[in-house]
Amino acid sequence: MGKRNFQVFKRIVVKVGTSSVAHATGKPNLFKIESLVRQLADLYNMGKEIILVTSGAIGTGAGKLGLPGRPRTIPEKQAAAAVGQGVLMHIYEKLFAEYGVTVGQVLLTREDFSDRKRFLNARNSLHAMLQFGVIPVINENDTVAVDEIKLGDNDNLSALVATLIDAELLVLLSDIDGLFTADPRKEKSAQLIRDVTEMTPEIEALSGGAGSKLGTGGMATKIQAARIAMHSGTVTVITNMEEKNIIRRVIEGEAVGTVFWPCANKMENKKRWIAFSSSICGKIFVDEGAARALAKQGKSLLPSGITRVEGSFDIGNTVVIAGPDGTEIARGIVSYSSEDIERIKGAQTRDIARILGHKDFDEVIHRNNLALEL
């Protein structure tokens, strides 16, 4: 566990939720947005690189369109997002401009992370914006996103963005002070957990995961985001947006919120992409020996250890590798298609050319293209 000295960090991702930028009516909460912008502009003036991930487009759009509540159908949500996105950006642009700061809108979908080429393009684009002294204002592209390509929530999006650009700090602004031992709104004895150094089953249970009665409302996605960030070498802080000058206080190391400290072994960029961003296209089942070789000995996956193939996928796709009991043990990029793997499963490496008529690789998945289940 490190000391809370975050002033040395240069690149910071800040995420705000809908409740932080909009009233219950759907209209923008100008007081909160103004406070947020002032804090971020001040950090910018200190020489920090700031990336803002903001929710609120659909809610704001619904308010602008005079809808009675949050839209239900995908076309209605997309229409509300199209209107709300413009309203939100206009407000951010206007308020940041008062402090002499330029902002740029970035809209992302899951495909921008799951396709390696698009992932690298998005990374280069954000780097260029930061070099120009622009604050990227990022949201999920709800105008075109349907369920198949949605990231699902902006907590997850902010963690993927932090991973994408190697941010040092991720601040998740919430309507709760941090992670508690129980739901503080229901149990007065609930204690705030100040530091998390390891994502244990107990910590996961506090997020309201399967079989848990301790759910702390909206915390599940924040824990998931923190988990991604921890393996990417990023410090994550969950804290309350309502607190005065909260971002400055986090940066200065005040004991506010819950800090999730990075794991000792930071994953390299490509493996982080495999583990967290890429789309899963199928599943390969392996025997006990292969499972052990992958998990304990850092080996590549050879055809001899494969027992079953599920799904249809091509060379270069990402698949889940499952042990004999079906539990996920790793993810990796395949060197052969599902059709070819079906034919060579259980065979020795020397027999690949005879079975397929060609042999491009000895390994079905090379260890450099493997990310072990975390």
pLDDT value of position 323:
92
How far is 327 from 83, CA to CA, in rounded Å? 44
DSSP string, 53-83: EE--HHHHHHHHHT-SSS--SHHHHHHHHHH
Which residues are annotated as part of the binding site for substrate? 55, 142, 154
Cα distances (angstroms) measured from residue 329 to each of 308, 368, 370 = 15, 16, 10
CATH no., domain 6-270: 3.40.1160.10
The Cα 247–Cα 52 span in angstroms is 12
Written as tens digits, the pLDDT of the chain (374 aa) is 557 889 999 999 999 988 888 887 778 889 999 999 999 999 999 999 999 999 888 888 888 888 877 788 888 888 888 999 999 999 999 999 999 999 999 998 877 887 778 888 898 999 999 999 999 999 988 777 555 435 557 888 899 899 889 899 999 998 888 888 887 778 888 899 999 988 887 887 776 643 333 333 478 888 888 888 888 889 999 999 989 999 999 999 899 999 999 877 666 666 777 777 677 889 999 999 999 999 888 889 999 999 999 999 988 888 999 999 988 989 888 989 999 999 999 999 999 999 999 888 889 998 888 888 65
pLDDT of 373 reads 64
- Which phi-psi region, left, alpha or beta, contains residue 298 (left: φ > 0; alpha: ψ -120 to 50)? left
Q: What is the pLDDT of residue 267?
A: 66
In this prediction, residue 187 carries a pLDDT of 82
Binding-site residues from annotation for ATP: 15, 174-175, 216-222
- For CA atoms 193, 137, 95, 62, the dihedral sign is negative
pLDDT value at residue 210: 35
β-strand partners of 154: none
Nearest to residue 221, comparing CAs of 156, 147, 148, 151?
156
* Residues that constitute the known binding site: 15, 55, 142, 154, 174-175, 216-222
Tell me the CATH architecture of domain 279-372: Roll (2.30)
- pLDDT at position 209 is 45
Which part of the chain has CATH 3.40.1160.10?
6-270
Alpha carbon 105 to chain centroid distance?
A: 19
- The sign of the torsion formed by the CA atoms of 145, 88, 11, 97 equals positive
What pLDDT sits at residue 148?
42
Pairing of strands 195-196, 134-140: unpaired
What's the pLDDT score for residue 214? 32
Contact 134, 104 (CB under 8 A): yes
Cα 38 from Cα 2, distance rounded (Å): 28
Residue carrying the six token digits 């947020």:
36
Count of other CB atoms within 10 angstroms of residue 248: 15
pTM, two decimals, is 0.78
Residues of the chain with CATH 2.30.130.10: 279-372
Q: What is the pLDDT of residue 227?
A: 85
Give 202: exposed, middle or buried? Use CB within 10 Å, 0-12, 13-18, 19+: exposed
Q: Specify the DSSP element, H or E, that contains 172.
A: strand 169-174
H or E stretch at 312 = none
- 89: tokens are 């950006």
Edge-to-edge strands, sheet with 370-372: 306-310, 280-286, 318-322, 328-333, 370-372
Report the distance separating Cα 323 and Cα 288, nearest Å.
Answer: 7
Alpha-carbon distance of 23 to 54, in angstroms, equals 15
